[in-house]
Amino acid sequence: MKTKQKIMVIYGTRPELIKLAPVILELQKYPEDFELFQLATAQHRDMLDQMLDIFQLKPDRDLNIMVPNQTLDQLSSNVMLKVSEIFTEIAPDIVIIQGDTTTAMVSAMAAFYKKIAVAHVEAGLRTGDIYNPFPEEINRKVVGTLANYHFPPTMTAAENLKKEGIPLERILMTGNTVVDALKFIEPKLDGYTPRVQLEPGKKMILVTAHRRENFGDPMENICKAIIDISERYDDVEIVYPVHPNPNVREKVFNHLANRDRIHLLQPLNYIDFLVLMRKAYLILTDSGGVQEEAPTYNKPVLVMRLVTERPEGVEAGVSKIIGTNQKNIVNEVSRILEDEDTFRRMSRGTNPYGDGQASQRIRKFFKSLELD
Ligand code: UD1
Ligand code: UDP
């Protein structure tokens, strides 16, 4: 008779590790209840390593899958074959995956093929548009179809799952574990100086952009809008840690390198990034995680996407969907820079995505499951 669950946590990319680190750290506190195994696909190599350092985690196995400019099919087949081998070797009772990446979707499929139970952290996010975000909307729907346990962060996400026919007893609304990660990092932020020297008195706009559906013209528009903003406002500095995906990096450096008041940086570790987020006047992003973090620091977020699966920030009035049209981006940024009321309205409130207790709820849920 078994006395504890054998749980395998799988992560591949920067955001997966940020959002699974609190779950791993929580489960590690209860070795009498859980036998834990961490598997890194390393779909991201350097950006994953940055986060492993910050959270002081070490995977039990690292598949080192990333290749430069990888395609979705190449990545998917590598993850499927290699993760599947580890399942055969380790035979976990439960596999935990997070979000909507290729690592998450393919690992969930591989677990399903071996009839291993799948638990999905950050379940139920939907836009209803299979190409926005691409391929993430389909990735998370596939996971939603085959997962055994679903941990939606919000009521809206939980409702999405109910509408798709997931039985109530398999759903636990937990809050987003990213808020747990922020709480964990918070004490480490003080005393850190920003990675870039900012001129006192200037307003800083923090930018990130990496989504596949924004490759090509949208990315070009984003770059041109950033140039317009930097030329229009000499009291504004733009700080942009650039995602290493070659489709992003080449365009961004070609357009924005060596320009006044635009600072292009390498991807930052989590502490350095949050230090800058705290200093920002506003945030311009197409990221999922950044939308969830900004309300903790009361920062207005302009979302350079056509739709978001995170409507809570928009409903609370602290974020706004602005698309990727050059003029529109410039106009929306200008409104926040020039209109105090708009700025103030978007810089308040609490974080609608979680309360920092998500990983505890997840741990208690696993503890309540009956052992075979
Ligand atoms: C992936 C996820 C996306 C998530 C994003 C977070 C998929 C299909 N996409 O997109 O959902 O929002 O991560 O950042 O799962 N690279 C490096 N070093 C790194 C990481 C990436 O050089 O540490 C470069 C490589 O050339 C790599 C490329 O970026 O081939 C693309 O990486 P990949 O994970 O396939 O896609 P992302 O665009 O990062
Ligand atoms: N982030 C970071 N360093 C950076 C840029 C982002 O640590 O230079 C963090 C950010 O705080 C958030 C996560 O990375 O938690 C978001 O990752 P990304 O935007 O790549 O993925 P998404 O959330 O869109 O899937």
Q: Name the least confident of 37-41, 267-271, 291-295, 345-349.
A: 345-349
- 116 & 46 share domain: yes
Please tell me the distance between residue 268's alpha carbon and the centre of ligand 1 in angstroms: 15
Averaged pLDDT for residues 338-354: 94
Instruction: Tell me the pLDDT tens digit for each residue of 253-263.
Output: 999 999 999 99
Q: Is the CB of 70 under 6 A from ligand 1?
A: yes
Does 121 fall in a domain?
yes
pTM of the model: 0.98
Closest ligand to residue 309's CA: 2
- The answer to whether residue 305 sits within a structural domain is yes
Q: How far does residue 276's CA lie from ligand 2's centre (Å)?
A: 13
Q: How far is the CA of 33 from the centre of ligand 1 (A)?
A: 34
Quick check: is 186 in a domain?
Answer: no
Number of domains in the chain: 2
| 271-283 per-residue burial string, b: 16 or more CB within 10 A, e: under 16 | bbbbbbbbebbbb
CA distance 219 to 79: 28
d(CA 202, CA 37): 47
Residue 278 CA to ligand 2 centre (angstroms): 15
pLDDT band at 111 (very low <50, low <70, confident <90, very high): very high
Statement: residue 97 has pLDDT above 70: yes
Q: Are residues 95 and 26 in the same domain?
A: yes
pLDDT of residue 370: 80
Give the pLDDT mean for 241-254. 97
In the prediction, which pLDDT does 194 show? Answer: 86
User: Of 208, 210, 265, which is best to mutate to test ligand 2, by the most ligand atoms within 8 angstroms of its C-beta?
Assistant: 208
pLDDT at 129: 97
Half-sphere exposure of 299 (CA within 13 A, CB side): 27
- Residues 47, 125 share a domain: yes
Q: Pick the atom of ligand 2 nearest to 265's CA.
A: 8
- Our CA dihedral for 207, 210, 214, 215, rounded to 10 degrees, sits at 120
Could you give the strand order of the β-sheet that contains 282-285, starting from the edge strand earlier in sequence? 262-265, 236-241, 203-208, 282-285, 301-303, 319-321
Q: Is residue 211 part of a domain?
A: yes
Q: How many Cβ atoms sit within 10 Å of the Cβ of residue 341?
A: 8
The answer to whether position 193 is within a domain reads no
Protein residue closest via CA to atom 15 of ligand 1:
101
Rounded mean pLDDT of 329-344? 98
Q: Indicate whether 161 and 15 sit together in one domain.
A: yes
- Same domain? 21 vs 134: yes
Whether residue 294 lies inside any domain: the answer is yes
Mean of pLDDT values over 222-232: 98
pLDDT tens, residue by residue, 119-176: 999 999 999 999 999 999 999 999 999 999 999 999 999 999 999 999 999 999 999 9
327 and 361 both lie in a single domain: no
The answer to whether the beta carbons of residues 322 and 302 sit under 8 Å apart is: yes
* High-pLDDT (> 90) share of the chain, %: 95
Predicted local distance difference test score (pLDDT) of residue 1: 67
Q: Are both 140 and 265 inside the same structural domain?
A: no
If asked whether residues 287 and 147 sit together in one domain, one would say no
115: CATH: 3.40.50.2000
Please report the atom of ligand 1 found closest to the CA of residue 75: 35
Is 188 part of any domain? Answer: no
Segment 310-321 shows an average pLDDT of: 97
For residue 288 and ligand 2, the question of a CB distance below 6 A is answered with: yes
- Please check whether residues 85 and 147 belong to one and the same domain: yes
Asked whether residue 189 carries a pLDDT value surpassing 70, the answer given is yes
Cα 166 from Cα 161, distance rounded (Å):
6
Looking at the fold, whether 225 and 260 belong to one and the same domain comes out as yes
Residues 219 and 301 occupy one common structural domain: yes
Closest atom of ligand 1 to CA, residue 70: 30
Same domain as 164, residue 22: yes
Q: Is residue 230 one of the residues assigned to a domain?
A: yes
Q: Which domain holds residue 80?
A: 5-175+357-368
Listed in sequence order, the DSSP H helices in 211-260 are 217-232, 246-256
> Which segment of 4-18, 40-54, 183-197, 306-320 scores lowest on mean pLDDT?
183-197
